[in-house]
Amino acid sequence: MRALLQRVHTASVSVEGKTIGAIGPGLLILICAMQGDTEAEADQLAAKIAKLRIFKDDAGKMNLSLKDTAGAALIVSQFTLAADTTRGNRPGFSPAASPEDGRRLYEYFSKVMQDHGIPVATGEFGADMDVSLTNAGPVTIWLDTKA
């Protein structure tokens, strides 16, 4: 699985002009299941993200995790993280999991994040979404379970 994390002050996602998910301080997590991914990759990624120390402590050092700060996660499916740009100028997305597997793993990942004690808001799988955020830092981190 692939994830792009953005540390945020606030983030929200809307579909057809209606906000369906919003958080205060925490992480916007753009997530993509890749071909061959299973629940094991989702478990691994969720555990890493919940414990990743990318929030500032009292000394201003990135030393606190999402759990430590009681931050929330806005989890948005993003199949374009699977983009293959090695040939030509138009990306291909064949490395992404099938829509059925992608939905299942997206929903599973969201549940596992909640199981880690993280408040979770979500987007709508497969929808055309508008995502807004106020990036904190900015801090943006790329994770890939295959890397």
pLDDT at 23 over 90: yes
- Write down the architecture of domain 2-84+94-144 according to CATH: 3-Layer(bba) Sandwich (3.50)
Q: Which of 80, 93, 134, 140 is catalytic?
A: 80
End-to-end CA distance of the chain: 10
Task: List the catalytic residue out of 6, 19, 35, 78.
Answer: 78
Return the biggest CA–CA distance within the chain: 48
**29: pLDDT confidence band, cut at 50, 70 and 90?**
very high
Query: 114 an active-site residue?
Result: no
Structure confidence at residue 147 as a pLDDT band (50, 70, 90): confident
- Taking the domains of the chain in order of start, what are their residue ranges? 2-84+94-144
Peptide bond into 95 cis (omega under 30): no
Read off the pLDDT of residues 56-106 as tens digits, 9 standing for 90 and up: 999 999 999 999 999 999 999 999 999 999 999 999 999 999 999 999 999
Q: Residue 46 burial by CB count (10 A; 0-12/13-18/19+): exposed, middle or buried? A: buried
The string of DSSP codes covering 33-55 is -BTT--HHHHHHHHHHHHH---E
- Compute CA 11 distance to the chain's CA centroid, rounded to the nearest angstrom: 12
Catalytic residue check, 125: no
pTM of the model: 0.95
> Which position among 6, 55, 79, 122 bears the catalytic label?
79
- 79 a catalytic residue: yes
